[in-house]
């Protein structure tokens, strides 16, 4: 599963748009979670997207270093090597980068891709996300356009957001925003298209009531018709080819019917993090609870090395994460859809 080339990544997005499915985009923080993601996509025979957040990059760099861009580069380089052993395509992406982190996170990653291009290689990441939704839309678009121009030069796609995804995820907390900002308007979507399309291809995280975090099924009240109406505003003015590639953030707690409804309105990428975090942690807890006397050196005993060896429970965590990600492939209808060997 080589990492997708820029042309293959565009073909992946085109195929998802044409056949009304979407790719799970899973956040990874370590080699173990990265391997779980690769395993899942291969077993589902689904192309997919693996992404790194600022917090994930910082964690991957080590507690003594805490350098988000450096950690993201380490994970991406590892992904380029590990992906060679599989037979589906995977694209690399970075998650929410707020304006204040552009210089410390996003710019070094663009510079890394620039260096790779100079060496005759492809970009390190196939897409990046700028989350400037905290800014007024006009300021958001000015920053988005500047970064999109850089991305276009590097054969990279930029993801942008207008409107605010509620809740808290990986240190990004928008729980106090006004309710009306949780919904992107048709005019917002038209503005985003008109500002960015002349420069190059982009992904758009429109908001329709979605919320980051962990919720019971049915707790999140989505309005997918917002995506339909926004796309219609764009295509009515510019034609069917103007339909945008949309991204669904904050899907935990959403009804499957609502998730699949968004696929009919142009969603080609859905972030998954909260649910796979739990899937990763759950078997570790079970292992510790069931093997407490082996894991701990209780009352001066020596414990059981086979039980406290991190590999014993991290293998279980990797497999559990992979199983949850395969469910996401089924939910998003990407299972069985790979362009490996075709483009």
What is the DSSP code string of 69-136? HHHHHHHHHHHHHHGGGSSS-EEEEE----GGGIIIIIHHHHHHHHHHHHTTPPPS-SEEEE--TTS-
Is 95 catalytic? The answer is yes
pLDDT at position 178, please?
46
pLDDT at position 250, please?
79
Phi, psi of 22 (to 5 degrees): -140, 160
Where in the chain are the domains? 6-331
pLDDT at position 164, please?
60
Phi, psi of 86 (to 5 degrees): -125, 175
Q: What is the pTM of this model?
A: 0.92
Q: Is 24 helix (H, G, I), strand (E, B) or coil?
A: strand
Q: Is 270 helix (H, G, I), strand (E, B) or coil?
A: strand
Report how far residue 14's alpha carbon sits from residue 264's, in angstroms, rounded to the nearest whole number: 14
> In 312-341, which positions are buried (b, 16+ CB within 10 angstroms) versus exposed (e)?
bbbbbbbbbbbebbbbbbebbbbbebbbbe
Own/partner pairs for 252-257, CB < 8 Å, 24+ apart?
252/212, 252/213, 252/214, 252/215, 252/220, 253/211, 253/214, 253/215, 253/216, 253/217, 253/218, 253/219, 253/220, 254/210, 254/217, 254/220, 254/222, 255/217, 255/218, 255/222, 256/331
* Residues contacting 295, CB < 8 A, separation 6+: 287, 288, 303, 304, 307, 308
Q: Which of 14, 67, 95, 229 is catalytic?
A: 95
Q: To which H or E segment does residue 271 belong?
A: strand 267-272
Six-digit token pair at 119?
């060496």
* Residues contacting 80, CB < 8 A, separation 6+: 3, 124
Domain 6-331 class, CATH top level:
alpha beta
pLDDT at position 81, please?
98
Strand partners, 91: 49
Q: Would you say how long the chain is, in residues?
A: 343
Sign, CA dihedral 16-142-189-193, equals negative
pLDDT tens for each residue of the chain, 343 residues long: 589 999 999 999 999 999 999 999 999 999 999 999 999 999 999 999 999 999 999 999 999 999 999 999 999 999 999 999 999 999 999 999 999 999 999 999 999 999 999 999 999 999 999 999 999 999 999 999 999 999 999 999 999 999 765 444 455 444 444 455 678 999 999 999 999 999 999 999 999 886 654 445 555 578 899 999 999 999 999 999 999 999 999 777 788 999 999 999 999 999 999 999 999 999 999 999 999 999 999 988 999 999 999 999 999 999 999 999 999 999 999 999 999 999 9
Is the Cβ–Cβ distance between 35 and 29 less than 8 Å?
no
What is the DSSP code string of 36-65? HHHHHHHHHT--EEEEE-HHHHHHHT-TTT
What is the DSSP code string of 123-140? PS-SEEEE--TTS-HHHH
> In 220-250, which positions are buried (b, 16+ CB within 10 angstroms) versus exposed (e)?
bebebebbbbbbebbbeeeeeebbbbbbbbb
């Amino acid at each position: 599963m080589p990492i997708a080339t820029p042309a293959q990544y565009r073909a992946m997005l085109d195929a998802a748009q044409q056949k009304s499915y979407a790719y799970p985009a899973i956040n990874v923080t370590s080699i173990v979670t990265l391997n779980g993601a690769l395993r899942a996509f291969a077993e589902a025979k689904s192309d997919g997207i693996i992404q790194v957040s600022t917090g994930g990059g910082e964690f991957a760099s080590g507690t003594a270093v805490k350098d988000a861009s450096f950690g993201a580069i380490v994970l991406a380089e590892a992904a380029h090597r590990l992906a060679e052993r599989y037979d589906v395509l995977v694209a690399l992406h970075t998650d929410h980068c707020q304006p204040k982190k552009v210089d410390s996170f996003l710019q070094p990653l663009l510079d890394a891709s620039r260096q790779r291009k100079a060496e005759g290689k492809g970009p390190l990441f196939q897409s990046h996300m700028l989350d400037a939704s905290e800014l007024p839309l006009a300021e958001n678009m000015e920053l988005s356009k500047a970064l999109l121009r850089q991305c276009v030069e590097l054969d990279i796609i930029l993801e942008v957001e207008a409107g605010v995804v509620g809740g808290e995820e990986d240190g990004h907390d928008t729980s106090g925003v006004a309710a009306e900002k949780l919904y992107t308007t048709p005019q917002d979507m038209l503005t985003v298209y008109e500002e960015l399309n002349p420069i190059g291809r982009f992904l758009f995280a429109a908001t329709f009531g979605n919320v980051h975090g962990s919720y019971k099924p049915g707790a999140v009240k989505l309005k997918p018709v917002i995506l339909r109406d926004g796309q219609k505003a764009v295509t009515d003015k510019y034609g069917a080819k103007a339909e945008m590639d949309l991204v669904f953030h904050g899907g935990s707690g959403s009804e499957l019917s609502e998730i699949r409804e968004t696929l009919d309105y142009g969603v080609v990428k859905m972030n998954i993090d909260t649910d796979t975090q739990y899937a990763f942690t759950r078997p570790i807890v079970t292992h510790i609870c069931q093997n407490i006397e082996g894991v701990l050196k209780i009352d001066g005993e020596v414990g059981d090395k086979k039980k406290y060896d991190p590999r014993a429970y991290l293998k279980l965590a990797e497999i559990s994460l992979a199983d949850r990600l395969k469910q996401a492939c089924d939910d998003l209808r990407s299972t069985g859809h790979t362009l490996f060997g075709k483009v």
